[in-house]
Amino acid sequence: MYCLHRMMMIVMGFNMRYLDLRRKIRDVRMWAIQGIAEAGSGHPGASFSAAEIMGTLYFRRMRHDPSRPGWEERDYFINSKAHSAPGFYSTLAVAGYFPPEEVRTLRKLGSRLQGHPVMYSERQKNYSVPGVEYSGGSEGMGLSVGIGIALASKLDGKKNRVFVLIGDGESNEGQIWEASMAAGKFKLDNLVTILDRNRIQQDGFTEDIMPLDPTKDKWAAFNWQVFEVDGHRVEQIVDVLNKAAQVKDKPVMIIANTVKGNGVRHMANNPQWHGKAPPKRHTEVLLEELESECLIAPSIIAGERENYEDKIRKVEREGVDMIHIDVMDGRFVPNTTFFADKIKKLRPSTSLPFDAHLMIEKPLEQIQEYIDARCDIITVHAEVCTENEFREIQERLIANGISPGIAINPGTDVPEWLYRCLHDLDVVIVMSVNPGFAGQKFMPKVLPKMVEVNKKLREHGFKGYIEADGGIDATTLQQAYDAGARIFVAGNAVYGGGDIHGAVIQLRHKAAVALERRLLNHATQLNIRPDWMKARKHILIPYANELGIEEELHAVK
């Protein structure tokens, strides 16, 4: 099923690349927090819980055209939980409806971007924000509006689809349930409603204030087709939206389990941050945190060379971000693992993105097989590509919605031609061992190169991720992190011992320590260290010893 949905996505043209999608959503959070901090008010909690939902819709799923907001064929998005406005505006901006810098005018006098989005009448339409289809603020009404549009489309025989985002606090409103009955009655299969199930509303936790559970059963009882996903996993959102498109004669409810404030650790799952702005002086550090998001990608060739499905399942349970798949052909490297046919077989076992690292002599000749195997990221080696070959690979991957990557061995420098291909490059793997085998020792000599490569690539406009591959474990991760890596491949560290659970916890812990240290240093440079530590106290406590700040933290009141 999974493969089928991915295939359809490509056929239907929803081919935004995984890492590019993640990066855009990261940018959305970064713009939103700047707007909120500048304004001194706004809702970071709801903007962040819904960031992946809105991002996946706008950057990957919806038919829309930022240069023609009123395009007749467009899909509609109704942001019923309108207080997520900073996230919504930022999504529109990153999608291209207006320049993102405008988000900094949020809630200012004279700005189009007010606390709750407004859609003006035809006569005053110049005041409207391009892309906003609905004036929100009073909770509970957006679903009814969405139903109206969906009904009208059906009556007109049009293909437009309607996506409505509602909140769980908002679901206290009676109108939501009246609307729910109506959508069921009219069998609106062109309507998809997404519930941002972050379990927090204005004054506290939803289940204390007005319990919503069993949410799934309620919507099903109102004749909706109900799905449930992790609302921060874009791959799950993409898949469920594809499933939703297949549902007939029923409206679709997607319960997206989310965390309010997700992305900034001290804001996460804390009702205090429902509608509070961070102090403006924290902005730079917060931006750094959002930008420093890191991904863990276990390499399944490490450990026993069997039961790959089972190995994938084991790390999936640990909440890793991707599966790293090392393809070795026995020619480019002195070892053979498996090829595209095996990846194809593994594909249905998980919705986690496949990060395929092709250590093969002639990547261009075989690239189609790996595209067909539905990898999400495909990285080839610079040592075996000319500029033209890589350009062709890159083009084909992009046309198929796959993130392209390039890898360099410890002894290889970034080829000059790569600077001409950065625009659509999503990942650069800087190998920290000579490729060929899992379980080798990390080569610290690649660290200065990683720093240099990162710096130079960024200067030339590279927006993708640096991936560290080879010998990454709890002792080396932090060095690679400090050198600029944000994707960490870990083979032996995860599968080499008997304790996968402990290994992943350790890696995450080390990444968190590296992040907290970085943020603290930044706060120190900005002269806001005590203040930052105060805001961050409960997050810093578990790392205090490793950061050497126990006494200092204890003194923070």
Interface residues with ligand DX5 (CB under 6 A) are: 299, 301-302, 324, 326, 357, 433, 435-436, 438-440, 469-472, 489-493
- The three-state secondary structure class of 402 is coil
At 128, which amino acid appears?
S
**253 labelled catalytic:** no
Site string for Zn ion, 464-483 (x = CB under 5 A): -----x--------------
Q: How many residues bind Zn ion (CB under 5 A)?
A: 3
Choosing from 168, 189, 239, 326, the catalytic residue is: 326
Q: Which two tokens stand for residue 248?
A: 């007939």
* Cβ atoms 337, 309 nearer than 8 A: no
- Report the distance separating Cα 354 and Cα 358, nearest Å: 12
* Cβ atoms 215, 153 nearer than 8 A: no
491 binds, among Zn ion, ligand DX5, none (CB under 5 to 8 A by kind): ligand DX5
**326 labelled catalytic:** yes
**180 labelled catalytic:** no
Name, in order, each residue with C-beta under 8 angstroms of 412's C-beta and a sequence gap of 6 or more: 382, 383
Shortest distance, position 469 Cβ to Zn ion, whole Å = 4
Choosing from 62, 431, 450, 533, the catalytic residue is: 431
**299 labelled catalytic:** yes
259 binds, among Zn ion, ligand DX5, none (CB under 5 to 8 A by kind): none
205 bridge partner residues: 200
CB nearer to Zn ion: give 82 or 438.
438
Choosing from 5, 232, 274, 357, the catalytic residue is: 357
Shortest distance, position 357 Cβ to Zn ion, whole Å = 4
CB nearer to ligand DX5: give 441 or 554.
441
Shortest distance, position 451 Cβ to ligand DX5, whole Å = 20
**Piece of 261-269, 326-334, 339-347, 548-556 that binds Zn ion (CB under 5 A):** 326-334
The dihedral of CA 20, 422, 466, 367: what is its sign?
A: positive
Shortest distance, position 492 Cβ to ligand DX5, whole Å = 3
433 binds, among ligand DX5, Zn ion, none (CB under 5 to 8 A by kind): ligand DX5
> Which one of 357, 449, 486, 510 is in contact with Zn ion (CB under 5 A)?
357
438 binds, among ligand DX5, Zn ion, none (CB under 5 to 8 A by kind): ligand DX5
Name, in order, each residue with C-beta under 8 angstroms of 527's C-beta and a sequence gap of 6 or more: none
CB nearer to ligand DX5: give 289 or 376.
376
Catalogue the long-range contacts made by 242-250 (C-beta closer than 8 Å, 24 or more residues apart): 242/5, 242/6, 242/8, 242/9, 242/14, 243/5, 244/192, 245/8, 245/12, 245/161, 247/189, 248/189, 249/187, 249/189, 250/184, 250/187, 250/188, 250/189, 250/223, 250/224, 250/225
Q: Which two tokens stand for residue 346?
A: 């593994």
CB nearer to Zn ion: give 198 or 337.
337
Choosing from 359, 432, 450, 533, the catalytic residue is: 359
Choosing from 30, 267, 328, 533, the catalytic residue is: 328
**349 labelled catalytic:** no
The Cβ-side half-sphere exposure at 235, using a 13 Å CA radius, reads 22
Burial 224-246 (b: 16+ CB within 10 A, else e): bbbbbbbbbbbbbbbbbbbbbbe
- The three-state secondary structure class of 543 is helix
**Piece of 153-161, 165-173, 176-184, 352-360 that binds Zn ion (CB under 5 A):** 352-360
Cα–Cα nearest to 284, from 101, 518, 114: 518
**189 labelled catalytic:** no
Choosing from 49, 469, 473, 533, the catalytic residue is: 469
* Cβ atoms 308, 300 nearer than 8 A: yes
- Report the distance separating Cα 266 and Cα 534, nearest Å: 10
**357 labelled catalytic:** yes
302 binds, among ligand DX5, Zn ion, none (CB under 5 to 8 A by kind): ligand DX5
CB nearer to ligand DX5: give 270 or 350.
350
85 binds, among ligand DX5, Zn ion, none (CB under 5 to 8 A by kind): none
440 binds, among Zn ion, ligand DX5, none (CB under 5 to 8 A by kind): ligand DX5
Q: Which residue has the tokens 């309507």?
A: 191
**324 labelled catalytic:** yes
Shortest distance, position 321 Cβ to ligand DX5, whole Å = 15
Q: Give the length of the chain.
A: 557
439 binds, among Zn ion, ligand DX5, none (CB under 5 to 8 A by kind): ligand DX5
Q: For binding to Zn ion (CB under 5 A), which residues are involved?
A: 326, 357, 469
The residues assigned a catalytic role are 299, 324, 326, 328, 357, 359, 431, 469
